[in-house]
A and B are shown apart, each in its own frame.
Chain A
Amino acid sequence: MSTSNPYQDDRGNKDRSIANPGGQGTAEARRKSGPVTGAPDTPFLIGENMTGGYGKGPDILHECTIAVDRGEIAVIVGPNGAGKSTAMKAVFGMLDVRSGRVLLDGEDITTLTPQDRVIKGMGFVPQTHNIFTSMTVEENLEMGAFIRTDDFRDTMAQVYDLFPILKEKRRQPAGELSGGQRQQVAVGRALMTRPKVLMLDEPTAGVSPIVMDELFDRIIEVARTGIPILMVEQNARQALEIADKGYVLVQGRNAFTDTGKALMADPEVRRSFLGG
């Protein structure tokens, strides 16, 4: 995000015969994780009073709290630019949390890097660039299981049971699939680590309404297998219908927090965010 670094200025170079712009990352690969401390008697996953922003930029989140408990689906909704995705990235360690803490399964993981959080049991599906497009569906799933040293064939079978279309297309490059199928690959890839919690950043962005309904069904199915799900959603109404817990964010702050049903029934929430 910071453009002040002179090494990150390509001086307008567009010559792809010498510089390959594809797939370059933004995550700091070489940051080291801090220590993990115990924090008993807390929700399964909670980002508590998080304040922070990207790099040296201004704060985007202000005292924001997001939590999900075992067996639940928690949904973050809100208007554009409310900091929904940012809140989820903060929970996953992808931005600087300047105050507040993140707890997972009774441990304080605030200082862990995203990669170490994956090892701790967090599965994250980014909104975009969430599959390896040049690799086959099966290779995508294999890469999802990269940190596992045991036999992951049964997990792969489970993923194929959940998303039968992927089994059919397992030898096809993932980049050739449709939008909805790509999202299934992305979720499947994250499930390969057998995560303790699954975080989805707008899984239905850019897919047709029919595909969206199907994806929601699949997400409910994943939740029924006992994996708590934290999800950011544009389609507030549908998301709140399936949510056990809903967070409405406005300008990086918690505006409303309640069960999905209660939020749907709240006249103020309806008027401001659900279009009446």
Chain B
Amino acid sequence: MDLLNAIITLSNFVIIPAIAYGSQLALGALGVTLIYGILRFSNFAHGDTMAFGTMVTILVTWLFQSWGISLGVLPTALLALPFGIAGCAAFVLLTDRAVYRFYRTQKAKPVILVIVSMGVMFIMNGVVRFIIGPDDHNFSDGERFIISARTFREMTGLQEGLAIRTSTGITVITAIVVVALLFWFLNKTRTGKSMRAYSDNEDLALLSGINPERVVLVTWVIVAALATVAGTLYGLDKSFKAFTYFQLLLPIFASAIVGGLGSPVGAIAGGFVIAFSEVTITYAWKKVITYVLPDGMGPDGLVQLLSTDYKFAVSFIILLVVLLFRPTGLFKGKSV
């Protein structure tokens, strides 16, 4: 019975949150990896693109809420998500027109685009704070739990509860659907294949009649969609704050690099590796260990390897180790 309690505690505080966080990171890392593969630079503005898309979603959610429109048990944000994606895509395409296109025409080296994206990052950062403010916003509504800890305890008679939050369920399901759609698009459709061709060999793609501007446009739209979905899911799960989204850049980059930059499968795997490491290392294991060990042998301390304040150190360390020992990532991307 104690072992069962230990497993339930572990699932409740480590496995389920890490799966949700991993899905969010995977979606973010997919966007980064697509930009890296097709537009050939690391997009530092990705965290703020997520923030922008989420902000539009939140504003539309508030509008819907004021009109009394809701999705019942599901959060209203899901209904606002398409508008968020559209808004984010429009903003990103505008940025491409105003900024990136100039450098593309100049055949600028990728490293120059990296610096350019940093400038875009600061502007987006400012725009988001200007519109919605720097504060925390909670915009999730509807039913909070699929199974709450108390219901679970009553159902099973166990001491420990297992809560599955609605946002977690939505995150996992949405992530699976979005990833399946993306892979189908990249591998089966004509446009998706032309994007891969452009990523592989720009000149030959041009000679094959593939229009580079169209490839770039479709890429930005997909990236905007991925970023908005990832951002909204993260916001539903936790809360929305512009600065937190900017900080997400590090675990997202770490995920993309750990998985192998340019490899979509790698981005997903990397997302889960980072999420699980972060959660397990910052989790206080006292309760689980007390259940597993014989009575009276439980530890006195919290058995927490690292305070949650230092969670970014985990991404950093994994990033360093991967770059030192396996620079191409888990799934061989373009060799880093």
A residues adjacent to B (C-beta < 8 A): 5, 7-11, 13, 15-30, 114-115, 118-119, 124, 126, 129-135, 139, 142-144, 146-147, 189, 193
Contact = CB atoms under 8 A, between A and B. Distances in A.
A124 B203 CA distance: 12
Given A16-B261, A146-B194, 7 more contacts: A18-B41, A19-B110, A27-B202, A28-B107, A29-B212, A130-B204, A135-B196
Interface string B178-199: 0000000000001001101111
Contact of B108 (A8, A25, A115): A8
Contact of B204 (A15, A18, A131, A193): A131
B103 interface: yes
B160 to A, nearest CB: 42
The interface centre, meaning the residue of A16, A26, A129 with most chain B CB atoms within 10 A of its CB, is A16
Contacts of B108: 7-8
Nearest to A174: B200
Contacts of B193: 135, 139, 142-143
A7 B109 CA distance: 6
23 contacts: A9-B109, A17-B261, A17-B336, A18-B42, A19-B40, A19-B111, A22-B40, A22-B200, A23-B198, A23-B199, A24-B202, A26-B203, A27-B206, A28-B107, A114-B206, A115-B207, A124-B207, A132-B196, A132-B201, A134-B199, A135-B196, A142-B190, A146-B208
B323 interface: yes
B109 A10 contact: yes
A135 B205 CA distance: 12
Determine chain A's interface SS by DSSP, over half rule: loop
Interface of B: 36-37, 40-42, 103-114, 190, 193-194, 196-210, 212-213, 257, 261-262, 323, 334-336
Contacts of A124: 207
A90 to B, nearest CB: 16
Contacts of A143: 193-194, 197, 205, 208, 210
A146 B232 CA distance: 36
Q: List 10 tightest A-B contacts by C-beta distance, closest first.
A: A25-B202, A19-B110, A147-B209, A10-B109, A7-B108, A25-B203, A13-B111, A7-B106, A20-B40, A18-B42
A134 B41 contact: no
A23 B110 CA distance: 12
Which of B41, B104, B114, B207 has the most CB atoms of chain A within a 10 A radius of its CB? B207
B203 A20 contact: no
Contacts of A132: 196-197, 200-201, 204-205
A27 B206 CA distance: 8
A20 B105 contact: no
B109 A19 contact: yes
B206 A129 contact: no
Given A19-B109, A20-B36, A135 B336 contact: no
A135 B110 contact: no
A115 B211 CA distance: 9
A139 B208 CA distance: 12
Nearest to B200: A132
Residue from B107, B199, B204, B210 whose CB has the most chain A CB atoms within 10 Å? B204
Nearest to B323: A17
Nearest to A115: B206
A8 B103 CA distance: 10
Nearest to A140: B197
Given A10-B111, A143-B193, A143-B194, A29 B213 contact: yes
Of B197, B200, B261, most A-chain CB atoms within 10 Å: B200
A228 B111 CA distance: 43
Given A19-B40, A19-B42, A189 B334 contact: no
Given A17-B257, A146-B208, A146-B210, A126 B203 contact: yes
A129 B203 contact: yes
Nearest to A192: B208
A175 to B, nearest CB: 9
Contacts of A189: 208
A188 to B, nearest CB: 12
